[in-house]
Amino acid sequence: MHLSLLKLRFFRNLENQELSFPPEGVAIVGPNAQGKSNLLEAIYYLETFRSFRGARTEQLATFGEDSFRVWARLGSSKNSEAPATEVAAAYHRASDRRKITVDGAEPVRIGDVVGNLGAVIFSPSDIAIVSGGPSQRRRFLDIVLSLNDPGYLSALQNFKRVLNNRNAALRADQPMSVVQAWDEPLIRSGGLVMMARFLWVEKWCANFREYYETVSGGISASMDYEPNVAVGACDKEIIHDAYAKALDVGWSRDLRSRNTGSGPHRDELVLSLTRDSHSSEIREFGSGGQRRTAALALRLVEGDSIRQTRNVDPILLLDDAFAELDESRRDRVFELMDSGRFGQVIITAPRESDIHFRGGALQCWGIRKGQICA
Ligand code: ATP
Ligand code: MG
């Protein structure tokens, strides 16, 4: 899939404009505060209908304007026979309502149309996935799995609802039987969450290692799933038994803390550097560039996940991806982009000298005060 046409109206500081994107992508270069991240935010809004920077929808309308609209036409890159898709999102401040359409039709639920673009965004704030607490990495897993594993989101939502109910019963000093009535649904929904995480990490850990090694130019890294409930194998029965036992063993602790201590809400995704036989967690021992490299490797794996589940080349949106990388790492990222594994790449940087790949074939656009000059 690739973005072929984008129309913007009153999105952040961007001028109202219509942009035709080449199928191989484009580099967008301009000084700070001109609208580079805003442009990628507008594009990625059509993937998840949320700001990738965590902004509320009403903040996306240009200051002083009552509404915004983003519209895109997507073309298939591999098969030109495939019909183009059109995705649009509009927001009106007065009614605080959004209107989302795919090929002109409004979906029943937004959940039915997320992931239409097949895009991955890499931004400087991704460093938090690597450097932050375990909840940041669980959040990364939850978003990737929600977009790529049918059934994951509803299992996760069930789990969270049951967990809240069980914790509320603990806090209200309810009798044991009332609290433990939640155990069975907790184990069932939590088991699905654990199983999906287990399989995802198992499937993609080799790619993570490969991307990390490629960009770092030597040193290796690993991605491991460390479930809070120790399970020996990804088997429904084994996971259910292990979780039941963990709740059993943890009962007096739960009673004391009035909180459920066992389950996937305490899982960890461990990212480590591996040198010889020594391994150290990147979040504790990694340098700035190593963290940045690990974050990029996670996003590239996310792209692989999209390619596999949706059978399209992912669109890579790279926002200032090279800020902390040295020249050789930067060049190896470009080599990766050139390897033919990725489809359209839309990349931003403050300096043109930061960008040189696709044999110089990538178009370079300037941006000033929200106006793109192609
Ligand atoms: P940098 O290189 O520093 O990352 P950038 O080109 O990515 O810069 P953006 O984050 O896109 O910059 O922001 C561009 C400008 O848009 C900033 O001056 C910002 O304050 C402004 N801006 C943000 N939200 C809005 C809005 N809702 N309406 C108008 N302008 C906005
Ligand atoms: Mg920016």
Q: What is the DSSP string of 72-90?
A: EEEE-SS-TTSPPEEEEEE
Which residue's CA is minimally distant from atom 25 of ligand 1? 12
Q: 77 pLDDT exceeds 70?
A: no
Q: How far apart are CA 187 and CA 265, in angstroms?
A: 12
Ligand nearest to the CA of 38: 1
pLDDT at 360: 65
- Cβ atoms of residues 146 and 341 within 8 Å: no
On whether the CB atoms of residues 13 and 354 are closer than 8 A, the answer is no
User: Which atom in ligand 1 lies closest to the alpha carbon of residue 59?
Assistant: 27
* Strands of the sheet with 17-20, listed across from one edge: 17-20, 2-9, 67-75, 85-92, 97-102
What is the per-residue pLDDT for 111? 84
Which ligand has an atom closest to residue 354 CA? 1
pLDDT of 343 reads 87
pLDDT of 78 reads 57
What token pair was written down for 374? 């192609």
**What is the phi-psi region of residue 359: left when phi exceeds 0, alpha when psi lies from -120 to 50, beta otherwise?**
left
**What's the pLDDT score for residue 82?**
61
| pLDDT tens by residue, 180-211 | 999 999 999 999 999 999 999 999 999 999 99
Q: Nearest C-alpha to atom 11 of ligand 1 is from which residue?
A: 35
Q: What does the pLDDT read at residue 276?
A: 82
Q: Do residues 220 and 274 lie in contact, with contact meaning Cβ atoms separated by under 8 Å?
A: yes
Average confidence (pLDDT) over 85-90: 96
245-281 confidence digits (pLDDT tens): 999 999 999 999 999 999 999 999 999 999 888 999 9
Instruction: Name beta bridge partners: 221.
Output: 273
Model pLDDT, residue 163: 98
Query: Which pLDDT band, with edges at 50, 70 and 90, does 355 fall under?
Result: confident
Nearest atom in ligand 1 to 38's CA: 11
Q: Which residue has the higher pLDDT, 142 or 1?
A: 142
| In the predicted structure, residue 1 carries a pLDDT above the cut 90 | no
C-alpha of residue 33 to centroid of ligand 1, in Å: 5
Each residue of 300-334: pLDDT tens digit? Answer: 999 999 999 988 899 999 999 888 899 999 989 98
Q: Residue 79 is which amino acid? A: N
| Residue 100 reports pLDDT greater than 60 | yes
pLDDT at residue 374 in the model: 84
The secondary structure of 127-192, three-state, reads: HHHHHCCHHHHHHHHHHHHHHHCCCHHHHHHHHHHHHHHHHHHHHCCCCHHHHHCCHHHHHHHHHH
**pLDDT at site 341:** 80
Integer Rg of the chain from CA: 22
Q: Is the pLDDT of residue 296 over 90?
A: yes
State pLDDT tens for residues 17-58. 999 999 999 999 999 999 999 999 999 999 999 999 999 999
Q: What percentage of the chain exceeds 90 in pLDDT?
A: 82
Enumerate residues lining ligand 1, CB below 6 A.
12-13, 30, 32-38, 59, 62-63, 320, 350
What is the structure's pLDDT at 218? 86
Distance of CA 196 to the CA centre of its chain: 16
For ligand 1, atom 18, name the residue with the nearest CA. Answer: 33
> Binning pLDDT at 50, 70 and 90, where does residue 338 land?
confident
Tokens of 299: 């996003």
